[in-house]
A = this chain, B = another copy of it.
């Protein structure tokens, strides 16, 4: 069943292209948008286009930014010698939410996935290696940092998703980075907080055992 207006139906179809939005939700959203003042709908449409027009990748970490360098890479209060490698900007968001991490990031833009035809060259791996082992003390590059100096990286923390592609990519990166004399670590895998041992899957439980710590 569809609305009696092709324009409303077209909007429903467009909204359904977004993740987690099925036909019913799209219809509910369209019905709401129909009642919204035109200025508000315009603001939403403009915000959508602005994201495409203004957002670019940080020259250092490839996170999303409206400037040349993102707010995290520009901050003098962050530890610029520790890099946390993630797949996507939303992973940065998740880690920032913890309020625990004081280092900087490197957004790969995905993971190695031969099935999807994504190899190392499709990700920002070359750029990560360049951050860990800078080829030259390029003054233009140095100017991007809060203290005007290219930092010497001490540790690279791999925070990729715990699945086959994430594991493959982590292994590949570790092989590439370790010879450069940097500490390479990986975030722990184990039981989620509030999780129940009885209901944990075997893989998670094995990892939790493997990663046990002395008390």
Interface residues of A (CB under 8 A from B): 1-8, 10-11, 13-15, 17-21, 25, 27-34, 38, 40-52, 54-55, 58, 63-66, 70-72, 88-90, 92-93, 96-97
The docked-state distance in angstroms from the alpha carbon of A96 to that of B38 is: 28
Identify which of B28, B30, B47 contacts A20 (C-beta below 8 A). B28
Determine if A19 and B14 form an interchain contact, defined as CB atoms under 8 angstroms apart.
no
Determine if B18 and A65 form an interchain contact, defined as CB atoms under 8 angstroms apart.
no
Chain B residue with minimal CB distance to A44? Answer: B14
Chain B residue with minimal CB distance to A32? Answer: B19
Determine if A41 and B48 form an interchain contact, defined as CB atoms under 8 angstroms apart.
yes
Determine if A4 and B92 form an interchain contact, defined as CB atoms under 8 angstroms apart.
yes
On chain B, the residues within 8 Å of A32 by CB distance are 18-19
Chain B residue with minimal CB distance to A48? Answer: B45
Contacts A1-B97, A27-B90, A93-B27; A55 near B8 (Cβ below 8 A): yes
Number of copies: 2
Determine if A89 and B34 form an interchain contact, defined as CB atoms under 8 angstroms apart.
yes
What is the interface of chain A mostly: helix, strand, loop, or mixed?
helix
Determine if A5 and B44 form an interchain contact, defined as CB atoms under 8 angstroms apart.
no
Chain B residue with minimal CB distance to A67? Answer: B5
Chain B residue with minimal CB distance to A2? Answer: B93
The docked-state distance in angstroms from the alpha carbon of A60 to that of B90 is: 48
On chain B, the residues within 8 Å of A66 by CB distance are 5-7
On chain B, the residues within 8 Å of A47 by CB distance are 7, 10-11, 13-15
The docked-state distance in angstroms from the alpha carbon of A191 to that of B125 is: 60
Nearest Cβ on chain B to A211's Cβ, whole angstroms: 26
Pairs A–B under 8 Å by Cβ, sample size 22: A1-B96, A4-B70, A4-B71, A7-B54, A7-B66, A8-B89, A10-B47, A11-B50, A15-B47, A19-B29, A19-B32, A20-B28, A21-B29, A27-B90, A31-B90, A34-B51, A34-B64, A41-B49, A41-B52, A42-B52, A44-B48, A45-B46
Determine if A28 and B90 form an interchain contact, defined as CB atoms under 8 angstroms apart.
yes
Contacts A28-B90, A55-B34, A64-B34; A50 near B7 (Cβ below 8 A): yes
